[in-house]
Amino acid sequence: MDTHAFASLAHVQILLIPVGLIPQASFDVYAEEIRSYESLKLGEIPTETKDGKAARFLPNPLATGNLHLSFPTHPPPRSHYALSLLRPSHFPLAVIGVATGSQSGSLTPLYSQFNTSLNDIFPGGGIYPLVKNCWLFEETEGTENPNCGDTLPGLIVVPRIKNRKLHVGTLLGDLCSQILAEFETLVQASENPLGNEYLNASLMPSLPPLSELPSPLSSLARSDPPPTITSFTSQPDVSRNSFTLSAAPALKRNTSTNVPNARQGTLAVQVQKKRLSTIGTSSSHARHFKMLGDFFLLAGRLEDAVIWYNEALQIFRSTPDYLWYACTLEGLATAAILEAWSVTQGLNSSATSIKEPWTEVSDKLQQAIILYAKTPAPDGEQIHSLLTLLYCECVLRQTRLLFAVWSSKGWGPLAFTTMLQSGPKPYIPPTLTSDDKDNWLNLERLSSVTGITRSSISAVLTQIHGPWLLHLGQRERISILEATASFYACLGYRRKEAYILREVLGCVMDLIVCGREEDGFSHPSGVPPTSGLGIQNTGQGSNWGALGIRLSESAAGNEGVLNLLKYICRILGINLELVGLVSDTCPDTHSQTLTLTDYDEDTEEELRESSGWPELQVGVVREAVAVAEALPDFPTVAQFALSSLKSLQGVLSPSDQYHLYSTASRALITARRRGDSRVVEYWSGRPIVSISIAPLPSIRIPMEKPRSIQHKVNDLKPLIQGIADPFLYNPRKARGKGQTIVVQNEVLEFVITLQNPYIFELELHELSLSTSGVRFDSKPLHIVIPANSLHQVVLCGSPAGSGTLTIRGCIVQAPGGQAREYILPLYTAEEEERLSRKRRAILSESGRSKSVGLGRYLWNMPARRTSTQGPESPFRFLECKVIRDQPLLRIRRTSVTHGALMLYDGEKSTIRLTLENVSNIPVDFLHFAFEDSTIEPAQKALTEGNLSVFDTYETEYRLLHNPVFSWDCEENKSIAPSQNLTVTLGCFGKVGCTNGTIHISYAHAEDPDLESPDAFYVRQVSYPLMVTVYHMLECTGMDLLQFPSYPECERRSQLNQRNDRLKDLRLEHDASWCLFSIEVRNTYGSPFDVSLLRMQDGESSTSSTTTIPPGSVSRLVIPIKKVLLSEVSLAIPIPTLSDRQFVVAQSSLSQREQQLQRELFWYREELFKSISGRWHETGGTRSGELSFRNQRMTLHMLEAFRLEVAHISLSIDSDQDDGRTLNGTRYYPNANEFLQLRARITNLMPYPIVFTLDYEVNPSEHLVHEGVLVDLPVGRLESGDSREIVSSLCFLACGRFEILVKARSFGSLESDNQVSRTHITAVVKENT
């Protein structure tokens, strides 16, 4: 490659070509040996040529100075031949054919081969190369050394000797001497007038073939050495002082001996230098002088070169020959640097210069650049191209000057070495090759040391860029652009470098595309490329066949192009390798454990701040994809397209997204078809949003239950408490309890939510669950996620064993891509916290640019310091517990029609359910639980706690003792596989019930394989029912009345009927009775028989029955025996049926009131124990209970029901007549007669009481009595004892007197309830 060395004008180019069958390795060895000579001292060059020729360019033997060599790898194209006079250093001046072999005999074929390849490379028409040598390196030592130079000119055998390298140096010296001698030929050709005419003929002149030049010139050919040459050689001291003397006579002599013409005349005048410059009539000599300068520069004679250049400058200043002027300036600049180099060889002597010494050189070059740019546009495209090339090279030269000084920390030997360097690779000073070459500080330090800023170098370099680049030939353009890019890279101007690199890519790709498609030419992969690019095919296509068949796609070089693309994109902030390209070996995704960083990567990716220039990014990405397509490298196309989609998703327009996606899919298909083993990684971000287990159908949900419930299933307390779940399984509460329990070998469904943020439909080739633990059998899904949406899919499968099934996440695979696992940890509190902290950390840094420019990209960022947060908690995943196979029941039939149950209020009936075991596992545990619509409101009321104690009790009583459904748990509990079982359930009509549910829990509890002995699994079948309860009998007005004892009546005629009735009531007259009555209204449309039943201890049970027609009210009456409850039982507070602990008495009743309330409560309970109501549908079968519990008990009723403290019998005795005491409670005493009032008190209590007695007589004013009537002491009576109190009285008037007696226990108040009363009536008559 062209390296565009600064001093290329002073480099003698020697082309090395392989000859014959030389292996590449040995060619490289020998070439390296030759190339190690970068410069030759002038003293080492023989001044005498072999044939005795001598020339003015040959150095004198003692001259100091150096001849600089460079060894290009390829010749310039033919199109450059126009430059041959303008810039001789552009061409290889010599060719060395490198051959190898030990064949002693026939060297002729080798030689002819050399000539053939020479003719290939230099087809003729050019001046160069001047010298052609073929060096035969001997492989073996000590063979005979036939010097074939005579027969085969230019063939030299290099023997295999110890110091062969030294020998090579000598040979090179000989070669150079030949070259210098040939310079003479050229110069002389242009020195004669005709030659000078040719030289000035055009902008870029060329000499005709030497044979066409007049004879004096051709006499310079080897065959005929003219005597004039000797005169040159006879003047070996071509020193600076004698230069004009030596040159001028030669000119004179030449011109004088040749064809005289007008020009010749002027030439003749120019013998004297002064005059020559003053005349200035022709610019022709200026070109000639410039040529001389060039050759002297090449010959290493700087002084001569500078003199001739200055000579030329003098003339150019006045004549507008911009091109040659510019070239001269360039030569002068090169000479200045070479001089500085040779002066400072070994020592640094320029430290004292005040003005920067390079400015002068730089100014010269700048002037040259301007001159090149001013050169009027020539006609031919080829000349235009060469002109542009010269311009660009000049710009590069100036840049290299500044760059070398800058990078070598100033004007010194290092800078000169840098500029003189001419290797096959560009030379970069060590200041830039260290590791931190991109360090901004480092670059700035160079600037401050040298005073050359990077921007000034860039400003110079920028001149190279412009539309004229299109004029250049393809190879030159690439070369120049490459050089430009590398300058920018070294300066740290990455974005400018990327700009230029895009152009380089454009050139390369253009060549690839054109070379392939337009010529129908394919580069055979076996042939090494002629240039570094492998596409230099112009004009040679016919050699390899012009068929439009793509023989094989050579992938060589693709790598480089792709790397370039990736680099450009990276500079613009796109990572084209975001989606990796891996070989398709299908790694086991389970083996690699995902770390936290892998998981968080997605989160970070989401929040990544976009930076860079979106429009540019999109453009460059589109280009990258196009380039990869054109190469073609299909997996890379997909990689680029998908990486862009991933990283630029926010800024890509819909059409771009679609285009990239379809390109990627197409490319992947093509790649697979062609058997490419590479696949892309999964790319589309995180497709999974959530995974959840689809709820099982309720009949399949298993529930874990402790073993203990198996035997005590009839606990009713939970029902009252209400808060605790009354059911073995409540589906509403099962959620969120952590582990889900699923059953082995039963279908399990997962609902997976996927997202697609793109505007196209995202196709997933495979979607499967990533599980660990129990094996999970499922079929992967192939799905298409609609554009820009969330999508839910259901993945079915079944666990194949029992144990724990962990769902780690999903494995997704895009078509043509690699499968990738995405884990999805549970969003536990810690996980949420961790994620949100991470999010906050990222968000808090977003928008704060801590590094500017390219430094903000991750690849440029120093390793981030992150605070360590201690050991990270491991993920928790969705888990479910897989248990062994479970039985399955279903309800086969029921006795309920249409699932609706119709009941009368209080009706008791039954329903039957038939259960069928549809599995092959026996059921040995059955439990029924019920639910109805009355439970919940009652429980709610209880929980709220606003009820009075009494109401609480009532509510609880109804809940507990009157459930709508009931089940006799003693029934058979096992069902064999595929057997039926019929169960009977009781129903109770309860007003307010609208629906109910029967839950049947069952299990195979005695499973021998159960893991834990104290737990088993139940399943549940539910049977919902509609319930309608008709309210048909209404009880109101419950009452209890005193029922005084009636003595047997003598007047039977009157009282027969009554006695019969009494007999019906089965009263027993030895105890006190009261009468229970209640009104029952039939609000329904059919009659009911209602009966009251009395069931009292020690008494015969009786009943009273009435038929109540629809719409009518009947009062039902039944006498009941009074009861007395002991103090102890009355002291018990009103119980709560549940075990609720905190029942705070809410009422602030007094002690007394509370006692009363308790009494009311307990007596009422006693009453309801004694009395029960029944109804029976008249003429029907339905029957049920009549509840009196809605009725309240009043104080009056309580007193009627409670047994009295004492029994008092009161009688009036008169001394005279007994006959008049009559008729039970009615007496007929006489007035004004002393009577004895006897009261007999019997203590009915089970304990002794001290009684007092009060009488009350109305009207009291018509009677006299003995003593007092109030608080008569009775005294202590033991239980069952009786005592008679007698007092005397006398009625003073006739009439009706009521005598009332009250027995009280002593000390109790009037209002106390422990009072028994009785009364008699005395009808006082006049004594007759």
Partner 1 sequence: MSHHLFVLSPSDTPLYSLTHQSAKPVPSVTSPLASNLPTWSTSAFAGTLTALSGASSATQHTSGGAVRVGGGQDRHVIQMIANAGLDVIEEVMHREPTMYLKSVDKFNEWTVSAFITPGNTKFVLLHEGKNDEGIRAFFMEVWELYVKTMLNPFQTAHTVIRSGVFDSRVRASARKHL
523-582 binders of partner 1 (CB under 8 A): 572-573
Rounded Cα gap, residues 1149 and 1155, in angstroms:
9
183-212 binders of partner 1 (CB under 8 A): none
Could you tell me which stretch among 501-509, 859-867, 1041-1049, 1173-1181 binds partner 1 (CB under 8 A)?
Answer: 501-509
Q: Which is nearer to partner 1, 620 or 1134 (CB)?
A: 620
Considering just the CA atoms, what is the radius of gyration of the chain in Å? Answer: 63
Question: Position 379: which residue type?
Answer: D
- Interface mask (CB under 8 A) for partner 1, residues 743-772, using x and -? ------------------------------
629-648 binders of partner 1 (CB under 8 A): 630
**Sequential DSSP letters for 1167-1180:** HHHHEEEEEEETTS
CA proximity to 452, closest of 407, 484, 415, 396: 407
Residue from 152, 279, 513, 783 that binds partner 1 (CB under 8 A)? 513
Rounded Cα gap, residues 1264 and 1101, in angstroms:
49
> Hey, what are 968's tokens?
């006799």
Shortest Cβ distance from residue 502 to partner 1 (Å)?
Answer: 6
> Hey, what are 1281's tokens?
């004892």
Q: Does 326 bind partner 1 (CB under 8 A)?
A: no
Q: Which is nearer to partner 1, 502 or 1019 (CB)?
A: 502
* Contacts of residue 607, Cβ cutoff 8 Å, sequence gap at least 6: 839, 842, 843, 846
Rounded Cα gap, residues 1179 and 1176, in angstroms:
8
Q: Which is nearer to partner 1, 256 or 849 (CB)?
A: 849
Shortest Cβ distance from residue 554 to partner 1 (Å)?
Answer: 18
Q: Which is nearer to partner 1, 515 or 635 (CB)?
A: 515
- Interface mask (CB under 8 A) for partner 1, residues 419-448, using x and -? -------------------------x----
Shortest Cβ distance from residue 637 to partner 1 (Å)?
Answer: 15
Q: Which is nearer to partner 1, 465 or 775 (CB)?
A: 465
* Contacts of residue 1167, Cβ cutoff 8 Å, sequence gap at least 6: 1040, 1076, 1120, 1193, 1201
Rounded Cα gap, residues 119 and 865, in angstroms:
65
Q: Does 449 bind partner 1 (CB under 8 A)?
A: no
Burial class (CB in 10 A: 0-12, 13-18, 19+), 839: middle
Per DSSP, 423 falls in state: S
Could you tell me which stretch among 34-42, 49-57, 513-521, 716-724 binds partner 1 (CB under 8 A)?
Answer: 513-521
Q: Does 1280 bind partner 1 (CB under 8 A)?
A: no
Q: Does 653 bind partner 1 (CB under 8 A)?
A: no
Q: Does 314 bind partner 1 (CB under 8 A)?
A: no
Q: Which is nearer to partner 1, 459 or 976 (CB)?
A: 459
Contact 1018, 925 (CB under 8 A): yes
Shortest Cβ distance from residue 826 to partner 1 (Å)?
Answer: 35
Q: Does 1087 bind partner 1 (CB under 8 A)?
A: no
E strand residue ranges, 1031-1155: 1033-1043, 1073-1082, 1088-1094, 1103-1108, 1113-1121
Q: Which is nearer to partner 1, 142 or 847 (CB)?
A: 847
Q: How many CB atoms lie within 10 A of CB 854?
A: 18
Q: Which is nearer to partner 1, 483 or 824 (CB)?
A: 483
Residue from 249, 280, 412, 506 that binds partner 1 (CB under 8 A)? 506
Q: Does 470 bind partner 1 (CB under 8 A)?
A: yes
> Hey, what are 1198's tokens?
């309580």
Shortest Cβ distance from residue 291 to partner 1 (Å)?
Answer: 24
Residue from 293, 492, 887, 996 that binds partner 1 (CB under 8 A)? 492
Residue from 280, 532, 614, 718 that binds partner 1 (CB under 8 A)? 614
Rounded Cα gap, residues 4 and 400, in angstroms:
9
Q: Which is nearer to partner 1, 79 or 453 (CB)?
A: 453
Rounded Cα gap, residues 381 and 1133, in angstroms:
123
CA proximity to 540, closest of 133, 228, 950, 77: 77
129 preceded by a cis bond (ω within 30 of 0): yes
Residue from 95, 134, 483, 498 that binds partner 1 (CB under 8 A)? 498
Residues recorded for the chain:
1328
Q: Which is nearer to partner 1, 498 or 701 (CB)?
A: 498
Rounded Cα gap, residues 973 and 887, in angstroms:
14
Could you tell me which stretch among 465-473, 595-603, 921-929, 1207-1215 binds partner 1 (CB under 8 A)?
Answer: 465-473
Q: Which is nearer to partner 1, 397 or 1094 (CB)?
A: 397
3-state secondary structure of 250: helix
Residue from 420, 507, 621, 642 that binds partner 1 (CB under 8 A)? 507
Q: Does 863 bind partner 1 (CB under 8 A)?
A: no
Shortest Cβ distance from residue 519 to partner 1 (Å)?
Answer: 12
Per DSSP, 886 falls in state: -
Residue from 25, 354, 829, 852 that binds partner 1 (CB under 8 A)? 852
Question: How many of the chain's residues bind partner 1 (CB under 8 A)?
Answer: 64
Q: Does 462 bind partner 1 (CB under 8 A)?
A: yes
Q: Does 471 bind partner 1 (CB under 8 A)?
A: yes
Residue from 210, 248, 271, 514 that binds partner 1 (CB under 8 A)? 514
- Interface mask (CB under 8 A) for partner 1, residues 349-378, using x and -? -----------------------xxxxxx-
Residue from 459, 724, 900, 1195 that binds partner 1 (CB under 8 A)? 459
Rounded Cα gap, residues 390 and 372, in angstroms:
8
Q: Does 23 bind partner 1 (CB under 8 A)?
A: no
Contact 834, 850 (CB under 8 A): no
Per DSSP, 710 falls in state: G
* Contacts of residue 82, Cβ cutoff 8 Å, sequence gap at least 6: 204, 206, 382, 383, 386
Q: Does 1267 bind partner 1 (CB under 8 A)?
A: no
Residue from 139, 598, 609, 1298 that binds partner 1 (CB under 8 A)? 609
- Interface mask (CB under 8 A) for partner 1, residues 384-423, using x and -? x--xx--x--------------------------------
- How far does Cα 579 stand from its chain's mean position? 14
Side-chain half-sphere CA neighbours of 1118 within 13 A: 23
Shortest Cβ distance from residue 387 to partner 1 (Å)?
Answer: 7
Strands 92-100, 131-137: pairing is: parallel
Buried b (16+ CB within 10 A) or exposed e, 1072-1104: bbbebbbebbbebeebbbbbbbbeeeebeebeb
Q: Which is nearer to partner 1, 82 or 1241 (CB)?
A: 82
Question: Position 551: which residue type?
Answer: L
**Which H/E stretch holds residue 191?**
helix 164-191
Residue from 786, 853, 899, 937 that binds partner 1 (CB under 8 A)? 853
φ/ψ bin of 534: left (φ > 0), alpha (ψ from -120 to 50), beta (otherwise) = left
Q: Which is nearer to partner 1, 296 or 493 (CB)?
A: 493
> Hey, what are 794's tokens?
């259901």
Q: Which is nearer to partner 1, 157 or 371 (CB)?
A: 371
Q: Does 65 bind partner 1 (CB under 8 A)?
A: no
Q: At 709, give phi and psi (nearest 5°).
A: -75, -10
Rounded Cα gap, residues 240 and 232, in angstroms:
15
Shortest Cβ distance from residue 506 to partner 1 (Å)?
Answer: 4
What residue ranges bind partner 1 (CB under 8 A)? 372-377, 381, 384, 387-388, 391, 444, 453-455, 458-459, 462, 465-471, 488, 492-496, 498-499, 502-503, 505-507, 509-510, 513-514, 518, 572-573, 609-616, 619, 623, 626-627, 630, 846-847, 849, 852-853, 856
